[in-house]
Structure 1
Amino acid sequence: MKKLLFVALLTFIGNSLFAQKTVSTNGTEYYSCSQKNGMTSIPGDYKLTVQYDEKELGFNASGGQRMTSFSTVKKTDKYVIGQNVEGNYAFFDITKKQFYYIDYFMKRYLTTGYGSQSAEIKQNTMKIMDILKKGESQKDAIQYLIKQTEYGF
């Protein structure tokens, strides 16, 4: 009986510590900024769903079941950083429920931002692109987003 309770306790603790977390928020507009075409605002209601754990970060803003997945590079109480097989980065601000993605395709960058607080997302999406246009790396752009999580107001 003691062994059964011990196994049940370990299972409960393991599941609660390592279980995948799901966060959802509603948005009214998302932003896309490309090196070629500049900033584009895409109005319309959507539901951002982000799932993350120690191994994987995934997001969906289209309402379907399919998640765009990244391997988790770093996870803290405030944010999660992911990287896909192409070497592109994603960043999820857990507190503000904001998701950013950087894509490098055909020698051009594309940055996108989803979540609540549209004005801030637009500003951050443009700032990320500015960092990349200056020749800095995706890691430098992610570092900018990390600094934004340090401000509590």
Structure 2
Amino acid sequence: MKCRGFSLIEILIAIFLLATVLLSLLWMNRYSHISSMDAYYEGIAIGAAQEPLEIFRGMGYEWLELYQKGQADLTKSAALTACPPGVWFNLADAKPGLYPSEASDLKRLITVTPVTSDGIKAFQVTVRIAPALQSKIDAWLSRDSVSLKSFVVDKK
């Protein structure tokens, strides 16, 4: 009589192959989740960095001169109140509803630097966004901070 079945070696090889496939699928799922969360929080950080750049472009060069000196009136709108010059500002301290709830785990630093080239005067505005303390954004964001720069040119 001939017995039909699998040998122990064949079963062990099959288990090894199935385990390898399963682990690679789990690893891909984990990496995909990490990448999507990183992109999500980076998008929130970029949005929080673009806001003051757009406001400052709209306000113009003359207003930015006052802002750099600390003489600009920031109390006219909630968005301007959330843009103090040269200090880290926790977005959690902004007016409720101004930013998405996830942005409350971020802080923002705005620096304004005068630039002159070929007789053209401008300000370089740099907005840096970083996680505030230990938070879920700090755990998921793959970089220490997100920075955006823009120039506001004197039209004279």
- More strand by percentage: 1
Larger RCO (alpha carbons 8 Å, 6+ apart): 2
Quick check: TM above 0.5? no
TM-score class normalised by the smaller sequence: under 0.3
Larger Rg computed on CA atoms? 2
- More helix by percentage: 2
What is the TM-score of this pair, normalised by structure 1? 0.26
What is the TM-score of this pair, normalised by structure 2? 0.25
